[in-house]
Structure 1
Amino acid sequence: MSRRLAGPSCALWLLALAVVAAENITTNSVQLLSDATPTVYTSISTLLLRTSSTTVQFTTVNTSPPPIFRRLPHHHQGSRWGPYFEDGEEPQNVTARVGSNVKLDCKIGMLHDKMVTWLHRKSEQIHLLTVGKVEYSSDQRFRLSFRYPGNWRLEILYVNRRDEGLYECQISTHPPRVKRMFLKVTAPEVFIMDDNNHEILERYYKAGSAVELLCLATQLEDPGDFVTWRHGDEVLNKGVSVNGSLGSSTVLSTLTLEHAQKRHSGNYTCSVGNVASATVAVHILNGELPAAVHHGNCAPNWRSDWLWLLLPLVVRR
């Protein structure tokens, strides 16, 4: 512009030049999240300075980039914006000893207003155990033991063989979210056998003869798993011998009665603690035994051949 400005106009010119310099007219690049080629974003603004005799127009460049929208990370295992199992939804196997207490943990995050339910499935039967913090089972051994902040723990007291099966912790979403746990209950097994290794429920002896009963106890685990004999309610110690050479989890116990008399008749029970037992009815007869029960061969309860493999050769005294 050839016209020379003086006075106020000159001051306005200097002010405008200072504004332009302060704008720091540069071009900035913004790298996209996808590592694409840099792109320049600009916007134009106009500054007008007006005097009584002159209008001066300046153009400035605004190099501020537009906002960049980032995708939030996706959480697996369903939506983390709703209820989820903190330990995952994979099924679990739980093993418990008969008579012990069992704790089944169900840790849930972000439950909000949803409900938690425990079910027990066995064969074709379904038993409702708890809904929320309310217990529905008539068996008082089942109870909910909630642990803050989100562990909906199911406890089973003095577990028994009937408690085996599938347990489900369900969240009332649509469809329901389910955590499955299979409970296996282990216990000793006890058999009373004759000298031919056949399981028996009843034995006949002639008065004055020797009575010998064999008790095989398997699946022993706890140090307190020891075998005892009883005649009715009386605990027997005399005439009892134990062979523990069959392995750490198997014991063979022999009960011997010399010169059996009529008073020795009755039920003889071999047991392991209070968790497993077997009983045989012993009859002491005067005179000759009936042919059907001679030598005690009366209606034996035949077991699988694996019992033969568990017993070594028994050397009779």
Structure 2
Amino acid sequence: MVITGRLRVQILILIMLIASTERTFAKLEQGETTEAIEEENNELEPMVISRGPYFVKSASKNVTAIVGKTAHLSCQIKNLGDRTVSWIRHRDLHLLTVGRSTYTSDQRFVSIHNHHSDDWTLQVRYTQRRDSGIYECQVSTTPPIGHSMYLSVIEPVTTVLGGPEMFINRGSTMNLTCIVQHSPEPPPSIFWTHNSQEINYDSPRGGVSVITEKGEITVSYLLVQRAKDSDSGKYTCNPTTANPASVVVHVLNG
């Protein structure tokens, strides 16, 4: 096989990227934190700036994403010139993208870059828990320079207190409490269903209301006054950014 000059350069870039990543990974295994490595990189930044490309580190943040949603890791590079930008996953030292090309069979990973922009973004679609970890944006200088950030993929937990079954007396007030935890931000909305039908709080039945308190832990209260036999059944709390949770209510005579 004839190795062209361009292919030789690409092979050299790949070797340098892997070598740089292995050094960073070794530091992490020895107990160094990403902050310590970042501080070391900061000390070298004046030299990086003087010889060419450098990272705008304030534009790159750790990212928290919800399972199944899309995550974006941002990397801003000044004075890039004709160098190549690559994204590497530290967990297995896997080269994900080079330039705007994806170098992995996992097509959930996409490199996004607009011409004349300093921003290089790694898009991770349909995130999974196993995607959590350190990702590095690298530039093909000699030696390569890199900037690492952490992606945390979490799965919010929804719980209806008192489940899976509740028993209440006819004529009493039914109070169903739904709790959403471990979400990077409160769900935009929560709706309740009764036997798979969305509850209409303005229905002729009356006496049905909901109170939702948003925060690090979001709580939604469904209140049904003067419970009667027809109020028995399956109630489901449906946050827009988390899995639903249900409880079966039995209205008892007396």
Q: Give the shorter-chain TM-score range.
A: 0.5 to 0.7
Matched, 1:234 2:197: yes
Of 145, 164, 167, which aligns to 1:205?
Answer: 167
Matched, 1:193 2:193: no
**Letter in structure 1 aligned against 2:114:** R
Contact persistence 1:106–1:153 (CA under 8 A): yes
Q: Report what 1:131 is aligned to.
A: 98
Contact persistence 2:179–2:217 (CA under 8 A): no
Contact persistence 2:195–2:233 (CA under 8 A): no
For residues 107 and 238 of structure 2, the distance between their equivalents in structure 1, rounded to whole angstroms, comes to 27
3-state DSSP of counterpart to 1:277:
coil
How big is the shift at 1:104?
A: 0.9
For residues 229 and 175 of structure 2, the distance between their equivalents in structure 1, rounded to whole angstroms, comes to 10
Cα shift readout 1:243-289 (whole Å, capped 9, x = no counterpart)? 3567697443225382345x9444x321222x1133124264999xx
For residues 165 and 109 of structure 2, the distance between their equivalents in structure 1, rounded to whole angstroms, comes to 41
Higher relative contact order (CA 8 A, sep 6+): 2
How big is the shift at 1:102?
A: 3.0
Who wins on radius of gyration, i.e. which is larger? 1
Q: Runs of at least 4 residues of structure 1 off by over 6 A?
A: 185-188, 245-249
Q: Report what 1:259 is aligned to.
A: 228
**Letter in structure 1 aligned against 2:79:** G
For residues 161 and 255 of structure 1, the distance between their equivalents in structure 2, rounded to whole angstroms, comes to 35
How big is the shift at 1:107?
A: 1.4
**Letter in structure 2 aligned against 1:93:** K
Cα shift readout 1:4-37 (whole Å, capped 9, x = no counterpart)? xxxxxxxxxxxxxxxxxxxxxxxxxxxxxxxxxx
For residues 276 and 137 of structure 1, the distance between their equivalents in structure 2, rounded to whole angstroms, comes to 29
For residues 154 and 230 of structure 1, the distance between their equivalents in structure 2, rounded to whole angstroms, comes to 39
- TM-score norm. by structure 2 comes to 0.55
How big is the shift at 1:103?
A: 5.5
Q: Report what 1:178 is aligned to.
A: 146
For residues 117 and 64 of structure 2, the distance between their equivalents in structure 1, rounded to whole angstroms, comes to 24
Q: Report what 1:278 is aligned to.
A: 244
For residues 55 and 46 of structure 2, the distance between their equivalents in structure 1, rounded to whole angstroms, comes to 12
How big is the shift at 1:168?
A: 0.8
For residues 280 and 188 of structure 1, the distance between their equivalents in structure 2, rounded to whole angstroms, comes to 15
Q: Whose helix fraction is larger, Structure 1's or Structure 2's? A: 2
Of 119, 132, 147, which aligns to 2:88?
Answer: 119
For residues 214 and 111 of structure 2, the distance between their equivalents in structure 1, rounded to whole angstroms, comes to 42
Matches for 1:123-162 after TM superposition, within 5 Å = 124-125=91-92, 127-138=94-105, 140-149=107-116, 151=118, 153-156=120-123, 160=127, 162=129
- Structure 1 unpaired stretches of 5+: 1-74, 195-199, 288-317
For residues 134 and 245 of structure 1, the distance between their equivalents in structure 2, rounded to whole angstroms, comes to 44
How big is the shift at 1:94?
A: 3.7
Distance change in 2, residues 1:126/1:264 (3 Å): farther
**Letter in structure 2 aligned against 1:151:** D
Distance change in 2, residues 1:97/1:133 (3 Å): closer
3-state DSSP of counterpart to 2:61:
strand
**Letter in structure 2 aligned against 1:135:** T
How big is the shift at 1:128?
A: 3.6
